[in-house]
Structure 1
C-alpha cells in the first residue's frame, strides 16, 4: 500500500484513540450544553472594620524608627521634609505637612558601587549583627580605609561605615535615590550608589 492511502487510515485511527469523534467535535455528540455560571451568588456579610495593630515586640538590637506616615500622605520635595507633631494622633497627622519616607535598614541591603577619589570598588551590606552595627564587606578596593570596612549602621538618615573594632571610617547621607555621599574620617570624599 502506498503512504498516501495509509495516511487517512492512520488519521482515523489516531482520532479514534482520542475517544470518539464527538470528543474532538466531529460527530453527532457535538451538541450545545447549557453553560453554568462560574460566579457565586452574593453572600451577606458584616461591614469591615479598621483598627490599628499593636506595636511589634521590642528587639534590643533594632534601632528605633519614627512611625510611618499615614497611607494618604504624599511625598514632598526633598528639601521640604517635615515631621508630624508628636502625640497629635490621626487628626493632627492629617492636618500636618506630608512626611518624606524614612530610610530603613532593608533599603541598604545588597551590593553597591563604592567610590572614593579615583578609586572604585564594590560594597556589600547585610543584616548580620557585627561589631559596629551590621556586617559589611568590600571587594576590589585598594586603599586601606575602603579595604578595612567591615560594618555599617544607620543613624537616623545617616549611614555610618565602620572598620575593625567598630570604629567609624565614613559618614554618608542620601544624595538621591539609591545614592549616598559624604566624607571618610580622613577627609576624602566617599560615595556609594547602585
Structure 2
C-alpha cells in the first residue's frame, strides 16, 4: 500500500482512539463512580411488576444445544392477552402454545419470520407425522392456517375465545392449540 494512502488511515485510527478514550474519561479518577455504583446513576431496582417492559417480556431458559452445537438464550414472547372470538391479530399468535390432536399434545411455536406458507412455525415433542410436519402458519381472515412443507395447509382453526383455537386437520380429525 502506498505511504500516501497509509498515513490518513493511521491518523484516523490514532485520533479516533484518543478521542473516544478522552471523551469518556477512562483514565480520569474524577469520572469513576464509587465502588458499588453504576456509572450514569441508574435507579434502584423496582418491585416485581413495576417498571417491567411492556407485556412483561422476559428471557426464557436457553434451548438445549443441537447436536454438536451450543445453547443460545431465546427471548420469550410476551404473555398474550385473551383473544376475543373473531378478532385475531398476528401478534396475538406469537410464542409458545400447546397443540393437541388425536389424544396427543406437544408444543407449537409461532414467530413472525417470513416462511413458505406465511410465517415460521415449529413443533417440539410431537410424535404424529401430521404435527411434526407443521413448519408455517398464516392468518386468513379470522382463521389460523397451519401449513407444512411448501405451504400446504395441514389444519385450519378458529378462535374459541380466551387463548384457545379449535379446528380440524385437512385429512380429518380435531386439532386445537391453547396456552
State TM-score, norm by structure 1: 0.48
Alignment pair present for 1:120 and 2:105 = yes
SS in 1 for 2:171: coil
Q: Across the two proteins, how many residue pairs are aligned to each other? A: 96
SS in 2 for 1:183: strand
Output the CA distance in 2 between the equivalents of 1:140 and 1:185: 21
Alignment pair present for 1:169 and 2:154 = yes
Q: CA deviation at 1:134?
A: 0.0
Output the CA distance in 1 between the equivalents of 2:151 and 2:164: 23
1:157 to 142, 146, 153: 142
Q: CA deviation at 1:166?
A: 0.5
* Higher CA-based Rg: 1
Q: CA deviation at 1:187?
A: 0.3
Output the CA distance in 2 between the equivalents of 1:141 and 1:164: 17
Partner of 1:133: 118
Q: CA deviation at 1:103?
A: 1.1
Output the CA distance in 2 between the equivalents of 1:103 and 1:147: 24
SS in 1 for 2:160: strand
Output the CA distance in 2 between the equivalents of 1:176 and 1:186: 25
State TM-score, norm by structure 2: 0.52
Partner of 1:180: 165
Output the CA distance in 1 between the equivalents of 2:171 and 2:105: 17
Output the CA distance in 2 between the equivalents of 1:118 and 1:149: 17
Partner of 1:111: 96
Runs of 4+ in 1 over 2 A off after TM superposition: none
1:61-76 alignment, distance < 5 Å: none
Q: CA deviation at 1:147?
A: 0.1
| Greater RCO (Cα-Cα under 8 Å, separation 6 or more) | 2
Output the CA distance in 2 between the equivalents of 1:129 and 1:144: 23
Q: CA deviation at 1:160?
A: 0.1
